Chains A and B, each alone.
Chain A
């Protein structure tokens, strides 16, 4: 260990660092899922999109030497996978939840299949901004190393919230999610709106994957994602389909995910695996606390079948 011994203060500090580092994929995936669900469709396949994004970003960065090109390619792949999901769900009688599970399996498998050659080599990472340079404590400096994607994610959350509320496009997306009849009445094509919303949502998830492989943990392997793509779905429900609340919820999840390594670093090794389940338990607890059998959730898009 280098730096000052912070004792138990190391735990909240590590959780802050975790909230900043681990939350970025959650921010992107949950914003993507939020947009998709506001248009009236649920995409459970974002876990697969996340893995494909991580793999293609890593591969591109390795071959081209430019990590930001990797982020761009990951977004493109996410866009395609999202569009595939939307196109399949557009067919009559095809269930969007089941299709999501299918694409989750497909995306994960394809990422492992195509990504086999990239497991060993080391690709260039996305850099970080040192926002902690004012502090003399090295742990604080480490905790405040912020990746630009984190800041982009925050900006995206506010931009999405503003666009959904104030723009014509936002209105049409919300209409498609609230009432198909109303959307048809103003002459919007519900199918096309959902196709675009799902595709763009997939692109966000792809960027989230790029963060995983190019910054933290910062390598490509088959255990890279541990369900972040799916937890994001629960997170959106917890955030009541509001982009700003998605941002807060992502930070909370990032902090929860950092509990177990943080405790280990101060010598608490008992129950390491139990604490590692904290984000999942938290998600489940939040869903139990916020759901109700009698009514659909406050803030839920009216056309969203999954939460009815």
Chain B
């Protein structure tokens, strides 16, 4: 759909439109100078090495959760259960980490990642399987599964897996400082970012250069044709959903192993929901997810500064994300027509 240039131009236009709409909201409702606000946001997101590292740290789970929407989207499915897979992945990782905590950091982290990916993958594969074999709409079921996942997390964290010493904020026992996932050399950014970038690269290579990826494209383009070609559509749906869910589960593991050190309600802070936005903004392209996640991680990182300096509510960032989402979706209508409009405009000027 459209050339790469057209895709970038339309997305840039949509971003510009959302910046204008958000700016108007700032002026007329909050009485804040939008240019000052945007300058502050830039400063809070990319202005210094310190803030840029904060942005990258936030981008890591966004990259991974975005894949949870992007991979099934390749087959024409809209999965929005990212938050649920992240949360359950985090709980599974914490449980696994505590179980094998004595066997050294490498084994612990591998066990945590494996547990998180299996649980997250199974969770989203459930939505895909229900779609394929029972005809249940995957968008609605994956969202319901998110609410169920958050309830399960609360149950485990406050019940069977609770550390009796965590009084104010019920949590699982810590996995131990020695077992924490380290930072990338020379920075404060944890290895989750590298996991995310590697996952995107793998997805891109598989989609671009393998018959598996080509089959996914055929199914996404026209499932009937795919079936007539003899492709086992159900298998692809399950694998894509499981892979996406595994990525989101890994995001939960990274949050536990690199940020919190244990699983608790801080896992459900909305990285999964922002991941949906990242995937749509990147038009479900694995490589485009990386810069988009960094951009949205930056918007999230700048929220605190906006709150402190301009006295804006912390939800300002969510409003901006919502406006961007709607503008990007509305901009779909420009594809294949933007050049025609430009042409008409020029012709009118010439007259």
Contact = CB atoms under 8 A, between A and B. Distances in A.
A95 interface: yes
A94 B329 contact: yes
Nearest to A234: B140
A288 B136 contact: yes
B326 A102 contact: yes
B322 A94 contact: no
B49 interface: no
A273 B322 contact: no
24 contacts: A94-B332, A94-B333, A95-B329, A98-B329, A101-B325, A102-B322, A102-B325, A102-B329, A105-B318, A106-B325, A112-B315, A112-B319, A114-B29, A230-B144, A234-B144, A237-B137, A274-B155, A276-B154, A277-B152, A280-B144, A280-B151, A291-B134, A294-B135, A307-B137
Interface string B146-180: 01100110110011000000000000000000000
A116 B313 contact: yes
B130 interface: yes
A127 interface: no
Contacts of B38: none
Given A98-B78, A105-B277, A280-B144, A288 B332 contact: no
A97 B78 contact: yes
A116 B329 contact: no
Contact of B329 (A99, A271, A307): A99
Contacts of A191: none
A280 B148 contact: yes
A69 interface: no
A237 B29 CA distance: 39
B134 A292 contact: yes
A125 interface: no
A102 B158 CA distance: 33
Interface of A: 44, 48, 88, 91-95, 97-99, 101-103, 105-110, 112-114, 116, 222, 226-227, 230-231, 233-234, 237, 271-274, 276-277, 280-281, 283-284, 287-288, 291-294, 306-307
Nearest to A117: B313
Q: Which of B29, B78, B80, B326 has the most CB of A within 10 A?
A: B326
Contact of B330 (A88, A105, A306): A88
Point out which of A110, A230, A283, A284 has the most chain B C-beta atoms below 10 A from its C-beta: A284
Contacts of A226: 147
Interface of B: 29, 78, 80, 130, 132-137, 139-141, 143-145, 147-148, 151-152, 154-155, 158-159, 273, 276-277, 280, 313-316, 318-323, 325-326, 328-330, 332-333, 335
A283 B130 CA distance: 13
Contacts of B319: 106, 109-110, 112-113
Contact of A101 (B80, B148, B320): B80
Contacts of B276: 101
Nearest to A116: B313
Contact of A109 (B137, B154, B318): B318
Contacts of A44: 139-140
B119 to A, nearest CB: 17
Contact of B143 (A102, A227, A272): A227
A180 B144 CA distance: 31
Given A102-B280, A306-B137, 15 more contacts: A44-B139, A44-B140, A92-B333, A94-B330, A106-B322, A112-B315, A116-B315, A227-B143, A234-B140, A274-B155, A280-B148, A280-B151, A287-B140, A292-B135, A293-B134
A271 B159 CA distance: 8
Contacts of B313: 112-113, 116
Contact of A88 (B29, B130, B158, B329): B329
A276 B330 CA distance: 36
Nearest to B317: A109
Contacts of B332: 91, 93-95
Contacts of A277: 147-148, 151-152
Contacts of A280: 144-145, 147-148, 151
A230 B315 contact: no
Nearest to A308: B135
A285 to B, nearest CB: 10
A241 to B, nearest CB: 14
A92 B338 CA distance: 13
A259 to B, nearest CB: 12
A99 B319 CA distance: 15
B252 to A, nearest CB: 18
